[in-house]
Structure 1
């Protein structure tokens, strides 16, 4: 597993199984936040990196969504760090196996029931900042997909909202995407935030991604 510091407060941890799989470590005043939990084989590497970083204990795990390649190492990590796990309230019944993900015939339990809790929202529906990150609802790839923005570093950790190749935005993988057109609409978050850097699970970094948004949406709308 390869660790790369991508900004002052954020590290990317990457492994390969035919395609790249990224998770992210974010440092805040009170310790460490893990964004997504990859596949089971990543667990030991994640734990070793947190220990080597010496930036405090793991305080929480934030999920962009509940697909298996984003929650695979949770069980092992929680044995060492029994921390809260957060996801969008809409996503929880899908990843706990109460509902089948859209376009899937059967419900599958990816995490133990009751393991995760809903990201907190105010009365207006806006998410509370957590671990230096502001969650944004970006549905489409999954019903409760969330992206996390680190305002200080101007980095958007976007899970499977996109894929990328050679620094160019690509759509999320169609075979695993619940509603592609909703995912394309959710990509407008780039215009709202205008991050300096976009990080995604299956692909490489994209710099100034908002500059590509118009061509991206034109290319993939109605597909």
Structure 2
């Protein structure tokens, strides 16, 4: 069954939106718009979606599904993508499938691969894969505390550089990677659950004792 899919991700500094045609194992990227700016998730996601749809020659009403990266990622950026995906799904009456954003980076990889992205606070989000399948993580740790065992590393360039491993090309989740991370197109999708892995930086003020 052929379906038109909108894929979006805001779990990293890349604000990604793509339109793809999925027919069984065949995936065709019709258009993709990416803006790399850690502070522009809210400003760039909708324009990137609109531009990707226009480039693909696809109207919103033609979409059959939405795929969204659920992190791990910072609270503010991550919720932009997930809220937008949920809004599209609700408005169009189409399923929204959430995937781990690290899985999207690892999609198509071979061998034992470590994927890392920026978790701030001198830490990384990480997961380890064997032939594209996740075998450990996702988790958040200082780089020195990430378990070894990988043969190569992919993901955020400045954080991948912290590991003495050969570097692979994938840096951010791509539209094709997001779609490849979907395990099941038939069953009812699970509810979207953000992978924050830790509490937000912002905290409510403590009540003053009287």
The alignment's TM-score, normalised by the length of structure 1, stands at 0.30
Q: Flag the structure with higher strand content.
A: 2
Structure number with the bigger relative contact order (C-alpha 8 A, sep ≥ 6) is 2
Q: Which has the larger radius of gyration?
A: 2
Q: TM-score, normalised to structure 2's length?
A: 0.31
